[in-house]
Amino acid sequence: MNIVSTLRQRRFAAATATVAALALALSACGSDDSGSGGSEDKAKAAGITLVKPGKLTICTHLPYKPFQYKDGTKVVGFDVDLLDLLAKDLGLEQEVVNIEWAQVTSGAAFQAKKCDVGMGAMTITKSRQAAISITAPYMDATQVLLTKKDAPYKTLEDLKGKKVGVQADTTGKDFATEQGKKIGFEVVVFNDLALQENNVKSGRVDAGINDNGVLYDFVKENPDTAVVAEFDTGEQYGFGALKDGSGPKLVEKFNTLLTAAQGDGKYNEIYKKWFGVEPKK
């Protein structure tokens, strides 16, 4: 090997080392500004440990339109948009997991690390508060009675001896069961909202009891059905999380963002998008 060849090899090696060092430096700078590293830093700064890096993993039971349902391959809805306030603040993407509703309300889904947050127009109850962390109320609700439009039923008393459909693991089921014992109608349990609604529509059950938001939405698209009665159950919705660990931190963060959204008009904007009207004062 001659001297000229040796010099060329040394210069090539030095240049290669310089390029590699520069690439490493640029890569290090980039990781501070983008990617899951930044979102992980935001979550950690808030004392939050995520089930999946860079994701806000949310458990629900689909469908529950207009709160959460599939539009094509994407899950959309009122609850989805509200939790996007939390996801965006932490620099995360939402990932929705469809799961049995009882796993959310019992806290089993959080304990098994299947998700960070639970959504589903969940009524805040004492038993649920004992099992999971729950946010401040984000919406008021009540139970209503769904029938076919030409049905003769206007009150629960009219349904004596009839069949009333309910959704499993809901406060509507609890309310209907209590009333059924007093009045004498049969409670028929369905695993999800769509099954319940469509069984009322088809006449397989005489009526259905569930939350006002979902049943009024169903009637808009199914004019052969009607909401014929409301029951003042005084319910409020909240989002759920793990009872300890990161759960209370997620709840605290969402509560702060909800208060801000209610103050700057963002909450009203989201509400009107899904319900067509401004929320009642």
Fold topology of 38-140+236-275: D-Maltodextrin-Binding Protein; domain 2 (3.40.190)
Instruction: Return d(Cα 263, Cα 245) in angstroms, integer.
Output: 29
Q: For the chain, give the percent of residues with pLDDT over 90.
A: 83
| Mean pLDDT estimate for the chain | 89
- pLDDT confidence band for 8 (50 / 70 / 90): very low
The yes-or-no verdict on residue 20 having pLDDT over 80 is: no
The yes-or-no verdict on residue 2 having pLDDT over 70 is: no
The yes-or-no verdict on residue 202 having pLDDT over 80 is: yes
- The pLDDT value given to residue 21: 41
The whole-angstrom distance between residue 170's C-alpha and the CA centroid of its chain comes to: 15
- The pLDDT value given to residue 154: 96
| Model pLDDT for residues 98-137, shown as the tens digit of each residue | 999 999 999 999 999 999 999 999 999 999 999 999 999 9
Q: Which of 17-21, 229-233, 247-251 is predicted least confidently?
A: 17-21
- pLDDT confidence band for 212 (50 / 70 / 90): very high
> When comparing pLDDT for 185 and 16, which is higher?
185
- The pLDDT value given to residue 38: 53
Q: Looking up tokens 């889904």, which residue turns up?
A: 109
Residues 6+ apart with CB under 8 A from 60: 68, 75, 79, 96, 97, 98, 99, 101, 104, 118, 119, 120
Q: Are 38 and 32 in contact (CB under 8 A)?
A: yes
The yes-or-no verdict on residue 45 having pLDDT over 70 is: yes
| Model pLDDT for residues 136-192, shown as the tens digit of each residue | 999 999 999 999 999 999 999 999 999 999 999 999 999 999 999 999 999 999 999
Q: Report the SS3 class of residue 223.
A: coil
Average pLDDT, stretch 225-240?
97
> When comparing pLDDT for 30 and 71, which is higher?
71
- The pLDDT value given to residue 13: 46
Q: Are 150 and 223 in contact (CB under 8 A)?
A: no
Domain 38-140+236-275 matches domain 141-235 at the CATH topology level: yes
Average pLDDT, stretch 207-235?
97
The yes-or-no verdict on residue 219 having pLDDT over 80 is: yes
CATH number of 141-235: 3.40.190.10
- pLDDT confidence band for 3 (50 / 70 / 90): very low
Q: For the chain, give the percent of residues with pLDDT over 70.
A: 86
Q: Are 140 and 271 in contact (CB under 8 A)?
A: no
Nearest to 79 by CA among 60, 92, 56: 60
- pLDDT confidence band for 47 (50 / 70 / 90): confident
Per-domain boundaries in the chain:
38-140+236-275, 141-235
> When comparing pLDDT for 196 and 43, which is higher?
196
Element (H, E) at 146: strand 139-148
Q: Which tokens in the block code for residue 265?
A: 């008009």
Q: 203-207 contacts: CB < 8 A, separation 24 or more?
A: 203/148, 204/163, 204/165, 205/163, 205/164, 205/165, 206/147, 206/151, 206/153, 206/159, 206/162, 206/163, 206/164, 207/145, 207/146, 207/147, 207/151, 207/153, 207/159, 207/162, 207/163, 207/164, 207/165
